[in-house]
C-alpha cells in the first residue's frame, strides 16, 4: 500500500541520528576515497556511534538560514510545525561538515597545498553562512604518522594549517591510509560524534533563548513548536531522557492550544506525532507501562475531538492510525525482548484500530454517498503550489490562516467535497482486514482462541462486504466448528447467516444446502418466519429451481447471483450432494437402535431408525438406507418410495416418507443374519437420508454410525440427568430424548437343544486312566448332523497342567507324554431326534490338584428363518472340575531284628525294612503286586517276593510288608546309603479288566550305616521252663582290626541260678569269635529278666551296655513246670 494521508511521515518514525556530511571525497574515481567511504558506511554495527553520513561536493549549497529575528513582537506564526523541518535536520543541515584533503606533512609544495585546503574550508563556511555547523578537516596521508611530539615538522605545519583555516586544533585530523583503516575511521567518527553533540547542544540553547520573547496570547503555537524542536534536537544528540521530558511538555502544550473546528486536525496531527515519539521513547527506555499510560491519556483526550461532522471519517481514520501505530511500537518492543501478557498485548490495539477503521468505513458510506453526477471540483482545492503542505495538519485551501471564522465558506464546501470524494476511492475493507489479521496473529500468540475466532468472524464479514465471498466462506467455515462445539448458538446462527449469504451469492450449491440444513436445525436461533423462508428456498433448490435471494444483500451482487443460479439450473451434471452431518446440527435428527445387544442367528435381526425434523414445515424424503460393516446387509435396509419431485410438497401428512416437525418417526428394519457372522459384531456404519429426487437435485444426509450430530451427545447427557417427568404419549410414540443410540449388535449362535451328561467317579487318582463317560442326547425336532466332540483340559489354565494331563479315547493302554491335553473335534456321527450316544474318554493326570475339564459338543442343523433355509451350527459345552489325589500313602521304616526302631543300621548286621501302604482313595484299590528293587549296596537276607499280591484295600486300610536286609560296611557315606525302590502295581478294584495296571514307584529312603567294634549275639531257646536248664551261648565277634581286651561280667538275678564264668577278662583277636556258654536255671515263671551281661571294651569306652542290649535279649518267657500234656499244647502255641 502506498502511504496515505494518515500514515506517519518517515522522518517521524525513524530513529534520529546526528547528520554529518563528508566533502572532498571522490568516491567514484578515487579508490582510496572509496575505501574511506566504505569504512564509514558499510557494515555499521550497533556498537558504532549513531551518525548518518552523506558524501557531498565541497561546494554544496546547504539550506539557507533565514535571518535571525531580533523581536517576536509583531510575529504571528502560521502553524505549529513545518512539514519540512524534521527532514531538514535529519538529512539537509549537517551538524558537522568534514573536509577531506590529501596532504602529507613532508609535502614539498606545502605552501600551495596549505592555501588550497584553506580555500576549501572557506567555501564550506560560505555555504553554511549563519549556521552553527562545525567544520573539521581530515588530512588523508600516505605515511604512517610518528608518535605525537616526535615529528617536529608535523606539529609546526599542523599549527600553521589550523591557523590558516581558522580551525581549532581539535578539528584537524590525520587519516593515514594504511592497513588499519577501519580502526582509524572508528576513532575519527567518535571525534565527529562529539562535535555533532556540541552542535546540537548549541541548537537547543538557541531555541531555548527564543522563549523569553514569546507571549502567551499570540505565540501559543510557537511554544509547542519550540518544545518539539528542543526534544527533537535532544534526540539527535541521543539524549533520550531529555527528549522524552521535552516531548511530554510539548504534548501538554498542544492540548492547551485553543481548539476550533478549523484547526482541530492540526492539533490532533501534532498530538499524534508527539504521542508517537513519547510512546516510542518509553518503550526504548523499557518502561512499557508508561507508554501504555501515555497512550491511554492521549486517546482519552482526543477521542471526543471529532472536528467537522462532515469529515467525521477523518477522525476515525486518525484514531485507527493511532492504535495501529501503538500496536506496531508494542510489537516492535516485544521483538526486542519485552514480554506481553494475555490481557495486554498488541492485538488489542490492532483490534481497536480495526474497529475505528470499520467506523471510518461507516462514516464514509454515510457521508460520501454523492450522486455519480457530482464531479470532482476543479481547480482541485487540495492542490497546493509546492505539492505539499507547509504545516502539518492544515487544510490545503486555507494554509496559514489562523482565524477561526471561515473567510470563504464556498471554498470550504468545495474542499470538503473534494475530501469526501477522495475518501470514496479508499478500499476500507482492505485496511480493516489487514488490521484484523494483525490482531489475529497477536491473539494467537497470547492464548486467546476465542478472541481469535471472533476476529476471524469479523474478517470473514469484512470479506463479505468486500464481495470476496470465497475468502469470507473459508474464514467463516473455519471458525464455525469452534462456536458449535462451545454451543454458543446465537453466535453460530449469526455466522451461518452470513455464510448462507455468501454461498447464495456465489451459487455454491453444496455450501448453500449445508448452511440451510443447519439454519433450519434446532441449534439455529432464527425466528420461524426466517426458517420457513430458508426451508422454502431449500425445497426450491432441491427441485432444481433458483432460491429467492437472501435479505440485505447487495443489489448488484444479487443480480449476478441470480444469473449464476440460472446457469446452475440449466447445467446438467452431478446433482447428488452427500453431506456428512455428524459434525454439525442439521434439521433432521436420526437415531438408530438395535432391539437387542445380541441376536441369535436363527431369529431375524431387528432395529429401528428414529427420525425427527426440526424445520417449521413437514418434509418428505425419498429414500433411507442403512449401511453396515458387512455390506451384504445394506440391500435389506433400504426404504424407498417412488415419488415425483412435484409431490414433495403434496400429501405431506401421509406416508412413512414424510417427517412432521417435532414428531418422532420410527422405521423398523429387519434382516436375517448370515451364519458366517456368528460371533461377529454387526455395526451400522452410516444412515443415509435422501432428500429430493435424482431427477432434480438430491441431498444425502449421511450420519456416521447410528446417527447423532454435533449437539446430540450433550443433549443425551442432559436428558439422562433430567428428573423432569415426560408427558405420557400414545403407545406407538416415544420421547426423542429417551431413545438411546445402539449402533451395533452381536450375532450369536442358535440355542442348542441337546443334553450332554458326564458320568465319572471322582476324584481321579494320580496317574490312573480316569474314565469319563459322555452321553449326548438330541432333543431337536429334526436330525442333527456332524456331531463333534471336543474333550479334555479346558484351555487357559496353568501351563504345567497341560503337560501333566493327557487325554485319549483308548483306555486299554497307558498314555504317555505324546498324548494331547485336549482332544478336538472327534466326529461322532449324526443323531436322530431323541437318539443318544455315549463316548468314553480317558484322562491321565500326572499331578495332584484340581483341573477343569471341558466337554464341548457341536453339531449342524437345518432351520428356517423368515422363510429362508439356513444351516445353523449349534454347540453345547459342559465343564467339570475334577480333583486328582494320591491313591495311597506309603510309609517305610527300618527296624532291628527285635522290631525296635533304628535311627541307623550297623554294618553287616541284619535289620528289617517295613513298608506300610495306606489307601487314601475313596474307592477300593487292588494291589496287583509289589516289588522291592534293592540298591547294589543292600543285600537281602532271604527271598523278596511280594507279600501283598492281590490284596484289596478299602478306604483307610493298609497293607504292610517286611523284608530282612543286611548292609555291608560301606565306609562313611555322606547322607547315607541308597536302599532302592519299592514298586506297587495297582488298579481300581471297580475298573474294567481292560484298564491297564498302574505301577507306582516309591524311592526308599537312604539309611546311615555305622560300624561297631564288637558284635554280640546270643543263642538261646525261645522260652525256658521253671527248674529246667536253659543253655545260653553268647557269641562275641571282633569287628575291628585290633586285638580287643574285653571284660565280661554277669550280674546275679533273683529269677535265675546260673553256671558259667561270672567275671572274666579276655582277648579277642581281629576277625575272630569268642563263645561264652552259660547255663541258666529259671526259678520263677513268667516274663523274666535274664541276668544281665555286661561287657566292657577297654579300647572303646563308648561301647556301652545300652548298645549291647540292642543285639542280645534281656528277658525271656519262663513257663511254669506243668504237666506233660500241657507242655505239648503250649509248645504248639
Residue nearer to another protein on the CB measure, 500 or 984: 500
Q: Are 699 and 648 in contact (CB under 8 A)?
A: no
Instruction: Supply the minimum distance, in Å, between the C-beta of residue 298 and another protein.
Output: 13
Q: How many CA atoms, within 13 angstroms, populate the side-chain half-sphere of residue 420?
A: 25
Residue nearer to another protein on the CB measure, 295 or 621: 295
Which of 116, 486, 1045, 1054 is the binder for another protein (CB under 8 A)? Answer: 486
Instruction: Supply the minimum distance, in Å, between the C-beta of residue 457 and another protein.
Output: 8
Bridge partners, residue 669, by sequence:
607
Instruction: Give the integer Cα–Cα distance in Å for 181 and 187.
Output: 10
Give the helix/strand (H/E) hosting 1080: strand 1073-1082
Residue nearer to another protein on the CB measure, 714 or 1121: 714
Positions in 305-324 near another protein (CB under 8 A):
none
Residue nearer to another protein on the CB measure, 583 or 949: 583
947 sits near another protein (criterion: CB under 8 A): no
Instruction: Supply the minimum distance, in Å, between the C-beta of residue 240 and another protein.
Output: 29
Residue nearer to another protein on the CB measure, 403 or 714: 714
Measured distance between the N- and C-terminal CA atoms of the chain, rounded to whole angstroms = 141
Kindly give, in sequence order, each residue whose CB lies less than 8 Å from that of residue 366, ignoring residues fewer than 6 positions away: none
Instruction: Give the integer Cα–Cα distance in Å for 716 and 729.
Output: 20
Positions in 859-918 near another protein (CB under 8 A):
none
Q: How far is CA 613 from CA 620, 666, 688, 732, in A?
A: 10, 12, 15, 18
Which of 90, 491, 789, 965 is the binder for another protein (CB under 8 A)? Answer: 491
Per-residue interface string for the shown chain with another protein, residues 163-182, x marking contact by CB under 8 A: --------------------
Instruction: Give the integer Cα–Cα distance in Å for 20 and 171.
Output: 14
Residue nearer to another protein on the CB measure, 483 or 671: 483
Other Cβ atoms closer than 10 A to 1049: 15
Residue nearer to another protein on the CB measure, 354 or 882: 354
Residue nearer to another protein on the CB measure, 349 or 1058: 349
Residue nearer to another protein on the CB measure, 100 or 489: 489
Which of 485, 800, 969, 994 is the binder for another protein (CB under 8 A)? Answer: 485
Positions in 1042-1101 near another protein (CB under 8 A):
none
Residue nearer to another protein on the CB measure, 429 or 458: 458
Q: How far is CA 516 from CA 466, 523, 564, 585, 658, in A?
A: 23, 12, 18, 11, 19
Q: CB-based burial of residue 105 (10 Å sphere; 0-12 exposed, 13-18 middle, 19+ buried)?
A: buried
Residue nearer to another protein on the CB measure, 737 or 877: 737
Instruction: Give the integer Cα–Cα distance in Å for 100 and 286.
Output: 40
Instruction: Supply the minimum distance, in Å, between the C-beta of residue 711 and another protein.
Output: 10
Q: Are 552 and 704 in contact (CB under 8 A)?
A: no
Instruction: Give the integer Cα–Cα distance in Å for 776 and 774.
Output: 7
Instruction: Supply the minimum distance, in Å, between the C-beta of residue 359 and another protein.
Output: 11
Give residue 920's Cα distance to chain centre: 62
Among 95, 327, 125, smallest CA distance to 232 is for 95
Residue nearer to another protein on the CB measure, 399 or 525: 525
Give residue 403's Cα distance to chain centre: 71
Long-range contact set of residues 184-188: C-beta below 8 Å, sequence gap at least 24 = 185/36, 185/39, 185/40, 186/48, 188/138
- Contact region with another protein (CB under 8 A), list: 212-220, 481-489, 656-664, 763-771: 481-489
Give the helix/strand (H/E) hosting 115: helix 110-127
Residue nearer to another protein on the CB measure, 439 or 561: 439
Q: Are 467 and 557 in contact (CB under 8 A)?
A: yes
Instruction: Supply the minimum distance, in Å, between the C-beta of residue 573 and another protein.
Output: 39
Per-residue interface string for the shown chain with another protein, residues 280-299, x marking contact by CB under 8 A: -------------------x
Instruction: Supply the minimum distance, in Å, between the C-beta of residue 343 and another protein.
Output: 5
Residue 315 grid coordinates: 477522525
Other Cβ atoms closer than 10 A to 1065: 11
Instruction: Give the integer Cα–Cα distance in Å for 41 and 51.
Output: 10
Per-residue interface string for the shown chain with another protein, residues 709-748, x marking contact by CB under 8 A: -----x--xx--xxxx------------------------
Strand 134-141 relative to strand 172-176, pairing: parallel
Q: How far is CA 73 from CA 219, 541, 855, in A?
A: 9, 81, 125
Residue nearer to another protein on the CB measure, 316 or 776: 316
Instruction: Give the integer Cα–Cα distance in Å for 863 and 751.
Output: 12
Sheet containing 911-919, strands listed edge to edge, beginning at the edge strand earlier in sequence: 888-895, 911-919, 958-966, 939-940
Kindly give, in sequence order, each residue whose CB lies less than 8 Å from that of residue 808, ignoring residues fewer than 6 positions away: 769, 815, 819, 823, 841, 842, 844
Among 511, 544, 515, 538, smallest CA distance to 694 is for 544
Residue nearer to another protein on the CB measure, 9 or 449: 449
SS3 (DSSP) at 627: strand
Q: Are 997 and 983 in contact (CB under 8 A)?
A: no
Instruction: Supply the minimum distance, in Å, between the C-beta of residue 299 and another protein.
Output: 8
Residue nearer to another protein on the CB measure, 299 or 828: 299
Among 463, 459, 467, 457, smallest CA distance to 437 is for 459
Instruction: Give the integer Cα–Cα distance in Å for 580 and 583.
Output: 7
Instruction: Supply the minimum distance, in Å, between the C-beta of residue 345 and another protein.
Output: 10
Instruction: Supply the minimum distance, in Å, between the C-beta of residue 725 and another protein.
Output: 9
Which of 8, 488, 1023, 1100 is the binder for another protein (CB under 8 A)? Answer: 488
Instruction: Supply the minimum distance, in Å, between the C-beta of residue 527 and another protein.
Output: 14
Kindly give, in sequence order, each residue whose CB lies less than 8 Å from that of residue 90, ignoring residues fewer than 6 positions away: 11, 14, 16, 17, 19, 52, 236
Residue 1052 grid coordinates: 546275679
Instruction: Supply the minimum distance, in Å, between the C-beta of residue 321 and another protein.
Output: 15
Instruction: Supply the minimum distance, in Å, between the C-beta of residue 487 and another protein.
Output: 3
Instruction: Supply the minimum distance, in Å, between the C-beta of residue 458 and another protein.
Output: 9
- Contact region with another protein (CB under 8 A), list: 45-53, 484-492, 943-951, 1020-1028: 484-492
Q: Name the CA radius of gyration of the chain, rounded.
A: 61
512 sits near another protein (criterion: CB under 8 A): no
Residue 86 grid coordinates: 524534521
Instruction: Supply the minimum distance, in Å, between the C-beta of residue 291 and another protein.
Output: 16
Residue nearer to another protein on the CB measure, 721 or 943: 721
Positions in 444-473 near another protein (CB under 8 A):
447-451, 454, 457
Residue nearer to another protein on the CB measure, 318 or 859: 318
Instruction: Supply the minimum distance, in Å, between the C-beta of residue 135 and another protein.
Output: 53
494 sits near another protein (criterion: CB under 8 A): yes
Instruction: Supply the minimum distance, in Å, between the C-beta of residue 365 and another protein.
Output: 18
Positions in 334-373 near another protein (CB under 8 A):
342-343, 348, 352, 355
Instruction: Supply the minimum distance, in Å, between the C-beta of residue 344 and another protein.
Output: 8
SS3 (DSSP) at 814: coil
Count residues near another protein (CB under 8 A).
Answer: 28
Residues that bind another protein (CB under 8 A): 299, 342-343, 348, 352, 355, 447-451, 454, 457, 485-491, 494, 714, 717-718, 721-724
Amino acid at each position: 500500500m502506498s502511504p496515505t494521508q494518515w500514515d506517519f511521515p518517515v522522518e517521524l518514525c525513524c530513529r534520529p541520528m546526528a547528520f554529518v556530511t563528508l566533502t572532498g571525497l571522490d568516491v567514484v574515481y578515487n579508490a582510496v576515497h572509496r575505501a574511506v567511504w566504505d569504512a564509514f558506511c558499510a557494515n555499521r554495527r550497533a556498537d558504532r556511534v549513531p551518525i548518518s553520513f552523506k558524501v557531498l561536493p565541497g561546494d554544496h549549497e546547504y539550506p539557507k538560514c533565514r535571518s535571525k529575528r531580533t523581536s517576536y513582537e509583531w510575529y504571528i506564526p502560521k502553524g505549529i510545525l513545518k512539514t519540512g523541518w524534521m527532514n531538514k535536520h535529519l538529512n539537509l543541515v549537517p551538524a558537522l561538515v568534514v573536509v577531506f584533503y590529501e596532504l602529507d606533512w613532508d609535502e614539498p609544495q606545502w605552501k600551495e597545498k596549505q592555501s588550497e585546503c584553506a580555500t576549501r574550508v572557506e567555501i564550506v563556511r560560505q555555504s553554511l553562512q549563519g549556521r552553527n555547523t562545525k567544520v573539521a578537516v581530515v588530512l588523508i596521508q600516505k605515511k604512517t604518522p610518528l608518535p605525537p611530539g616526535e615529528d617536529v615538522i608535523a606539529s609546526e605545519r599542523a599549527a600553521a594549517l589550523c591557523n590558516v583555516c581558522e580551525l581549532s586544533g581539535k578539528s584537524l585530523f590525520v587519516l593515514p591510509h594504511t592497513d588499519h583503516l577501519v580502526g582509524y575511521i572508528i576513532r575519527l567518527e567518535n571525534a565527529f560524534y562529539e562535535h555533532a553533540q556540541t552542535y546540537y547542544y548549541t541548537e537547543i540553547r538557541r531555541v531555548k533563548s527564543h522563549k523569553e520573547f514569546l507571549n502567551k496570547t499570540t505565540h501559543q503555537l510557537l511554544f509547542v513548536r519550540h518544545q518539539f524542536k528542543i526534544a527533537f534536537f535532544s534526540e539527535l544528540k541521543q539524549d533520550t531522557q531529555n527528549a522524552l521530558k521535552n516531548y511530554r511538555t510539548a504534548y501538554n502544550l498542544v492540548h492547551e492550544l485553543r481548539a476550533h473546528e478549523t484547526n482541530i486536525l492540526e492539533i490532533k496531527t501534532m498530538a499524534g506525532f508527539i504521542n508517537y515519539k513519547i510512546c516510542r521513547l518509553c518503550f526504548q527506555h523499557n518502561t512499557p507501562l508508561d507508554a501504555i499510560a501515555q497512550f491511554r491519556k492521549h486517546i482519552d483526550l482526543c477521542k471526543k475531538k471529532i472536528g467537522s461532522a462532515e469529515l467525521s471519517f477523518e477522525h476515525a481514520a486518525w484514531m485507527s492510525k493511532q492504535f495501529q501505530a501503538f500496536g506496531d511500537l508494542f510489537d516492535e518492543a516485544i521483538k526486542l525482548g519485552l514480554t506481553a501478557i494475555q490481557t495486554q498485548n498488541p492485538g488489542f490495539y490492532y483490534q481497536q484500530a480495526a474497529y475505528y477503521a470499520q467506523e471510518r468505513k461507516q462514516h464514509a458510506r454515510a457521508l460520501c454517498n454523492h450522486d455519480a453526477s457530482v464531479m470532482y471540483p476543479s481547480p482541485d482545492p487540495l492542490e497546493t503550489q509546492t505539492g505539499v503542505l507547509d504545516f502539518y495538519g492544515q487544510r490545503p485551501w486555507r494554509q496559514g490562516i489562523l482565524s477561526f471564522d471561515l473567510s470563504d465558506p464556498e471554498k470550504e464546501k468545495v474542499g470538503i467535497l473534494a475530501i469526501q470524494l477522495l475518501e470514496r476511492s479508499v478500499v476500507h475493507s482492505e485496511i480493516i482486514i489487514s488490521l484484523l489479521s494483525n490482531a489475529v496473529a497477536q491473539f494467537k500468540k497470547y492464548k486467546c482462541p476465542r478472541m481469535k475466532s471472533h476476529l476471524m468472524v469479523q474478517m470473514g464479514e469484512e470479506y463479505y462486504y468486500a464481495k470476496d465471498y470465497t475468502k469470507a466462506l473459508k474464514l467463516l467455515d473455519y471458525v464455525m466448528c469452534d462456536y458449535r462445539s462451545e454451543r454458543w448458538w446465537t453466535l453460530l446462527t449469526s455466522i451461518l447467516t452470513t455464510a448462507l449469504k455468501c454461498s447464495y451469492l456465489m451459487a455454491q450449491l453444496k455450501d448453500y444446502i449445508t448452511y440451510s440444513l443447519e439454519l433450519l436445525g434446532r441449534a439455529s436461533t432464527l425466528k420461524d418466519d426466517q426458517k420457513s423462508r430458508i426451508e422454502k428456498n431449500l425445497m426450491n433448490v432441491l427441485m432444481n429451481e433458483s432460491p429467492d435471494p437472501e435479505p440485505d444483500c447487495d443489489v448488484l451482487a444479487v443480480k449476478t447471483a441470480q444469473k449464476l443460479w440460472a446457469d446452475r439450473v440449466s447445467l446438467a451434471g452431478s446433482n447428488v450432494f452427500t453431506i456428512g452431518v455428524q459434525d454439525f446440527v442439521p434439521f433432521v435428527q436420526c437415531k438408530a437402535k438395535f432391539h437387542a445387544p445380541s441376536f441369535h442367528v436363527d431369529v431375524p435381526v431387528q432395529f429401528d431408525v428414529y427420525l425427527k425434523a426440526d424445520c417449521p414445515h413437514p418434509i418428505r424424503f425419498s429414500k433411507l438406507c442403512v449401511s453396515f460393516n458387512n455390506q451384504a446387509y445394506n440391500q435389506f435396509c433400504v426404504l424407498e418410495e417412488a415419488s415425483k419431485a412435484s409431490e414433495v410438497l403434496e400429501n405431506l401428512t401421509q406416508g412413512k416418507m414424510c417427517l412432521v416437525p417435532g414428531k418422532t418417526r420410527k422405521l423398523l428394519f429387519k434382516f436375517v443374519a448370515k451364519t458366517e457372522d456368528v460371533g461377529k459384531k454387526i455395526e451400522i456404519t452410516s444412515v443415509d437420508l435422501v432428500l429430493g429426487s435424482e431427477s432434480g437435485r438430491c441431498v444425502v444426509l449421511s450420519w456416521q454410525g447410528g446417527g447423532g450430530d454435533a449437539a446430540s451427545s450433550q443433549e443425551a447427557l442432559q436428558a439422562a440427568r433430567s428428573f423432569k417427568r415426560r408427558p405420557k404419549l400414545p403407545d406407538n410414540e416415544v420421547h426423542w430424548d429417551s431413545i438411546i443410540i445402539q449402533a451395533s449388535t452381536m450375532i450369536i449362535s442358535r440355542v442348542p437343544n441337546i443334553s450332554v451328561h458326564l458320568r465319572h467317579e471322582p476324584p481321579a487318582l494320580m496317574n490312573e486312566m480316569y474314565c469319563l463317560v459322555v452321553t449326548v442326547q438330541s432333543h431337536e425336532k429334526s436330525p442333527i448332523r456332524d456331531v463333534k466332540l471336543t474333550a479334555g483340559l479346558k484351555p487357559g489354565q496353568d501351563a504345567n497342567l497341560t503337560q501333566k494331563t493327557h487325554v485319549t479315547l483308548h483306555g486299554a493302554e497307558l498314555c504317555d507324554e505324546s498324548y494331547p491335553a485336549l482332544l478336538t473335534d472327534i466326529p461322532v456321527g449324526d443323531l436322530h431326534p431323541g437318539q443318544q450316544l455315549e463316548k468314553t474318554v480317558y484322562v491321565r493326570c500326572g499331578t495332584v490338584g484340581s483341573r477343569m475339564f471341558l466337554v464341548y459338543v457341536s453339531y449342524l442343523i437345518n432351520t428356517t428363518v423368515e422363510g429362508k433355509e439356513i444351516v445353523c451350527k449349534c454347540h453345547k459345552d459342559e465343564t467339570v472340575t475334577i480333583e486328582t489325589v494320591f491313591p495311597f500313602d506309603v510309609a517305610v521304616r527300618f527296624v532291628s531284628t527285635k522290631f525296635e526302631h533304628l535311627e541307623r543300621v550297623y554294618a553287616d548286621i541284619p535289620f528289617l525294612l517295613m513298608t506300610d501302604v495306606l489307601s487314601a482313595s475313596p474307592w477300593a484299590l487292588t494291589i496287583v503286586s509289589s516289588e522291592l528293587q534293592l540298591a547294589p549296596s543292600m543285600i537281602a537276607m532271604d527271598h523278596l517276593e511280594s507279600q501283598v499280591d492281590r490284596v484289596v484295600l478299602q478306604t483307610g486300610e493298609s497293607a504292610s510288608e517286611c523284608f530282612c536286609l543286611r548292609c555291608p560296611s560301606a565306609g562313611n557315606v555322606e547322607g547315607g546309603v541308597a536302599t532302592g525302590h519299592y514298586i506297587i502295581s495297582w488298579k481300581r478294584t471297580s475298573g474294567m479288566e481292560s484298564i491297564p495296571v498302574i505301577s507306582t514307584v516309591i524311592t526308599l529312603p537312604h539309611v546311615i550305616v555305622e560300624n561297631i567294634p564288637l558284635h554280640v549275639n546270643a543263642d538261646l531257646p525261645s522260652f525256658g521252663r521253671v527248674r529246667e536248664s536253659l543253655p545260653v551261648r553268647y557269641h562275641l565277634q571282633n569287628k575291628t582290626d585290633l586285638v580287643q581286651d574285653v571284660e565280661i561280667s554277669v550280674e546275679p538275678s533273683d529269677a535265675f541260678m546260673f553256671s558259667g564264668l561270672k567275671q572274666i577278662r579276655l582277648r579277642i583277636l581281629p576277625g575272630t569269635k569268642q563263645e561264652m556258654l552259660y547255663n541258666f536255671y529259671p526259678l520263677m515263671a513268667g516274663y523274666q529278666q535274664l541276668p544281665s551281661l555286661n561287657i566292657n571294651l577297654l579300647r572303646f569306652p563308648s561301647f556301652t551296655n545300652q548298645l549291647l542290649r540292642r543285639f542280645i535279649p534281656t528277658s525271656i518267657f519262663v513257663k511254669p513246670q506243668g504237666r506233660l500234656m500241657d507242655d505239648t499244647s503250649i509248645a504248639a502255641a
